[in-house]
Amino acid sequence: MTASSLRSSRNGAVLILVLLAIWQGLYWMVGDVALRSPLQTVMVTATLLGSDMFWPHLAETATAFGVALALSVAGGLAIGFILGINRFANDVFEPMLVTAYSIPKITLYPILLLMFGLGISAKIAFGTIHGIIPVALFTISAVRNIRPVLVKSGRVMGLGPFEMVTRVLLPAAMPEIFAGLRIGFSLTLIGTLLGEMFASQRGLGFLLMNAIGLHNIDVIMALTFLLTLFAGAASILLLHLNRRLQSPA
């Protein structure tokens, strides 16, 4: 293990300990009215994971999130490369993307419900519209920042559009694209959960909203803990991959 890896592991351990200490301190201040202690939350989480009713909801959320993430990444990369390569199309459509990104997505949810109904399709669409735009915007920026000599070299080699993207543009732009993927991942997860919270009968978002309505602090804390662990682990993995791409071979 390198010195950098040891330093990162140490910093991560310190951060976890600090967060746990803050969590425990808040619990002592607030009490059982609104919080559970870290130990209590872990115990409730273990009980929830052992419940048969939990896994169908998890499968529903995982399916909706997985499809929405795939659509966000594929669509965002496609839009980003098309607009990044074509200056005229970029000048026309990038301001539209920026404007759409600033719109509160929750205002579009009634329209999505009318279009897709109350099933999983609406949750997938809501998750996708959260994640696709940041991936596209970061990809546009990454393609713009590619050194012109690389593009010229690809043209001299007679590469077609698909080969130019896969063999030249994508490898050169990937480190910066990963920043957009991390943001797109988080926003897609948020969008999927919001879709389940407002108009769904299945999924972790539905369980969370139901627990809020019943003031079930145990379930609220357990679900929040699980979602935080998942999002944190995924973010760390993407950050690690990004550093590997940016490090010299």
Mean pLDDT over each residue of the chain, to the nearest integer: 84
Lowest mean pLDDT among 187-196, 206-215, 236-245: 236-245
% of the chain beyond a pLDDT of 70: 94
Helix (H, G, I), strand (E, B) or coil at 51: coil
Using CA atoms, how far apart are residues 198 and 29, in angstroms rounded to an integer? 32
What's the confidence (pLDDT) of residue 202?
A: 87
Give the tens place of pLDDT for each residue, 229-239.
Answer: 888 888 888 87
Helix (H, G, I), strand (E, B) or coil at 232: helix
What angle do the packed helices 217-246 and 170-198 form, to 10 degrees? Answer: 170
Residue 4 confidence (pLDDT) above 80: no
- Let me know: does 136 contact 83? Beta carbons within 8 Å: yes
What's the confidence (pLDDT) of residue 249?
A: 47
What's the confidence (pLDDT) of residue 103?
A: 83
Give residue limits of the domains in the chain. 1-35, 36-246
CATH homologous superfamily of 36-246 equals MetI-like (1.10.3720.10)
Give the tens place of pLDDT for each residue, 177-203.
Answer: 888 888 899 999 999 998 888 777 888
Using CA atoms, how far apart are residues 230 and 225, in angstroms rounded to an integer? 9
Neighbours of 216 (CB within 10 A): 16
pLDDT average, residue stretch 157-175: 76
Using CA atoms, how far apart are residues 72 and 184, in angstroms rounded to an integer? 7
Give the tens place of pLDDT for each residue, 45-90.
Answer: 999 998 888 999 999 999 999 999 999 999 999 998 888 888 888 8
Using CA atoms, how far apart are residues 78 and 143, in angstroms rounded to an integer? 12
101-131: b or e for each residue (b if 16 or more CB lie within 10 Å)?
A: beeebeeebeebbeebeeebebbbbbbbbbb
44 vs 86, more confident: 44
Give the tens place of pLDDT for each residue, 102-138.
Answer: 888 888 888 888 888 777 888 899 999 999 999 999 9
What's the confidence (pLDDT) of residue 1?
A: 52
pLDDT band, residue 44 (cuts 50/70/90): very high
Neighbours of 55 (CB within 10 A): 11
